Amino acid sequence: MCPDNICSASGRSKPCICHWHISQQNSMETIIPYSVVKFTNVNYVNEYLLSFCQSNKDSQSLGSNACTIIAVLVAINFLSDTAWFSQHHLLSTLDSSFLAYSYQLFTEGNQMYESLDEEQINYCAPEILEHPELGLIDNAERGEEYQFNNFADFLLELQMLSTKRIKLAFVLIFHPDKSMSLLINELGESMLIDSHSHLDTGAIIATASENKLHLAVWSIIFKK
């Protein structure tokens, strides 16, 4: 909450534009090193390994369980066409503004998780959207839920969805407790954001063009 009480719980899903938060964000960007540690392009998939993740920011280990909240925040921001998403395609190079934006969402997700009176280790997306303490119910509505018994059926469904030429956002939840965001735009481009730590370094993001979504998902899900 900002000092002037301009911000509210219902506004948490989007980066606040009050003067206090803008000054906080600007000062934070000059202190915290946002960077892409490693970039690779394999099988038409762009992979970005970041210098931070949900549980390791500012060189501090946080032990975060906020991945589902973070995934929901990313999905809401994408569907609302806010900030970075309003000015770039999903295949755009991940610049410093995107890294700062991601850092902000990771931080906000952790803060929201820690503010809950009774924290659960695992949450599903509907629980986050409808949680009375998080104030997200007015920013998004619950969509369809899918469950798959095998990975091949899951990839096939994703390929079919990517051909619809509409903006879609998914929260993918994998056993036992891993959530990530999958974004698909009207061009069929896709972005997968996993806020967990990979290779003992940071979060990982994969982007892919039309018809390559299954490769991006495969790439991240099986990367440690």
Write out pLDDT tens, residues 171-216.
Answer: 888 776 678 899 988 888 889 998 887 777 788 899 988 777 777 7
Token digits for 70?
């973070």
- Note the CATH number of domain 33-222: 3.90.70
Which pLDDT value is given to residue 44? 84
DSSP per position, 86-103: GT--TTS---HHHHHHHH
Which pLDDT value is given to residue 193? 92
DSSP per position, 181-214: EEEE-TTS-EEEEEEEEETTTEEEEEEE-TT-HH
pLDDT higher than threshold 60 for residue 35: yes
Q: Hunting for tokens 């998080």 — which residue is that? A: 134
Q: Where are the domains of the chain?
A: 33-222
Instruction: Report the C-alpha gap between 213 and 189 in whole angstroms.
Output: 8
pLDDT higher than threshold 70 for residue 223: no
What is the rounded average pLDDT for all residues in the chain? 75
Which pLDDT value is given to residue 91? 86
Which pLDDT value is given to residue 10? 43
Instruction: Report the C-alpha gap between 22 and 20 in whole angstroms.
Output: 5
On whether the pTM is more than 0.85, the answer is no
DSSP per position, 109-145: HHHHHHH-SS--S---HHHHHT-TTT--TTT------
The stretch 65-71 carries a mean pLDDT of 84
Q: Hunting for tokens 């495969």 — which residue is that? A: 218
Which one, of 83, 195, 116, lies nearest residue 206 by Cα?
195
